[in-house]
Amino acid sequence: MMELRGLEKSYGGKPAIKDLSLDIHKNEYLTLLGPSGSGKSTLLRLIAGLEQPDRGGVFLDNAALLNMPAHMRNLGFVQQKYALFPHMAVFDNVAFGLRYRHLNPLDDEAEIRTKVMDMLELVGLSDLEMRKVGQLSGGQKQRVSVARTLVCEPKICLLDEPLGALDANLRERMAIELRRIRAALGVTFLHVTGNETEALAMGDRVVVLDNGCIRQVDIPEKIFTKP
């Protein structure tokens, strides 16, 4: 479905991503595991179109995405910092992307409402639709962030350390929720993490990134990890 071909990216002559190729399958949950500085965030930004590679390309259903702006790529990107609007209600945060896309919001408000409420139910926030985001817990904010991305129905959802800001308990619940959402919506997920347990527990396949190179891609059972 998505193909990364020979991607390269350097900063000031120092390579962050080196000749990286990868096939991402439709509807899979792919985890991308690597230590800090291995190039995980750079790779997500290249896929999202927030940066251009020095070489290589990103292809979606065989079409090159080079020069296609981020918002045209049909990708969702849940970034590390939630980037939500704290003074706006949960509902309006989730609706924001939809409203922004629809050029004629008055025609579409009923449709927007249906989509947003369905999504809030999926992430377990139906009761909090009117609550200001600034008053939510970290885990709730994280769920708003995921809902806001998924409501736009991306083909692929990029998640940058989506569990990073959560405590152990919330982390586990959010992990289960993400898997459930994947099953319900059939979205392809690319989930970046520095946490080996998380990568192995959540991925259908795990990509191990080291120093800008892919070291291994396999199902979790076959990923070699240090004893």
Q: Residues 187, 154: contact at Cβ < 8 Å?
A: yes
Q: Residues 105, 98: contact at Cβ < 8 Å?
A: no
By CB under 6 A, residue 34 contacts ligand ADP: yes
Q: Residues 158, 48: contact at Cβ < 8 Å?
A: yes
By CB under 6 A, residue 11 contacts ligand ADP: yes
Q: Which is nearer to ligand ADP, 124 or 164 (CB)?
A: 164
By CB under 6 A, residue 38 contacts ligand ADP: yes
- Residue from 2, 22, 24, 40 touching ligand ADP (CB under 6 A): that is 40
Q: Residues 158, 77: contact at Cβ < 8 Å?
A: yes
Pick the stretch among 40-48, 83-91, 126-134, 165-173 that binds ligand ADP (CB under 6 A).
Answer: 40-48
Q: Which is nearer to ligand ADP, 43 or 90 (CB)?
A: 43
What is the identity of the amino acid at 25?
Answer: H
For residue 69, the minimal CB distance to ligand ADP (Å) is 18
Q: Which is nearer to ligand ADP, 20 or 181 (CB)?
A: 20
By CB under 6 A, residue 104 contacts ligand ADP: no
The number of C-alpha atoms within 13 Å of 65 and in the hemisphere containing its C-beta is: 27
Pick the stretch among 37-45, 55-63, 103-111, 133-141 that binds ligand ADP (CB under 6 A).
Answer: 37-45
Q: Residues 149, 96: contact at Cβ < 8 Å?
A: no
What is the identity of the amino acid at 89?
Answer: A
Element housing 214 (H / E): strand 213-218
Q: How are beta strands 63-64 and 75-78 bridged, if at all?
A: unpaired
For residue 82, the minimal CB distance to ligand ADP (Å) is 14
For residue 206, the minimal CB distance to ligand ADP (Å) is 15
| HEC-encoded secondary structure of 106-148 | HHHHHHHHHHHHHHHHHCCCHHHCCCEHHHCCHHHHHHHHHHH
What is the identity of the amino acid at 65?
Answer: L
For residue 26, the minimal CB distance to ligand ADP (Å) is 25
- Residue from 1, 8, 18, 41 touching ligand ADP (CB under 6 A): that is 41
Pick the stretch among 31-39, 71-79, 93-101, 181-189 that binds ligand ADP (CB under 6 A).
Answer: 31-39
Q: Residues 206, 220: contact at Cβ < 8 Å?
A: yes
Q: Which token pair is 88? A: 């706006």
Pick the stretch among 30-38, 108-116, 127-135, 198-206 that binds ligand ADP (CB under 6 A).
Answer: 30-38
Residues that bind ligand ADP (CB under 6 A): 11, 16, 34, 36-42
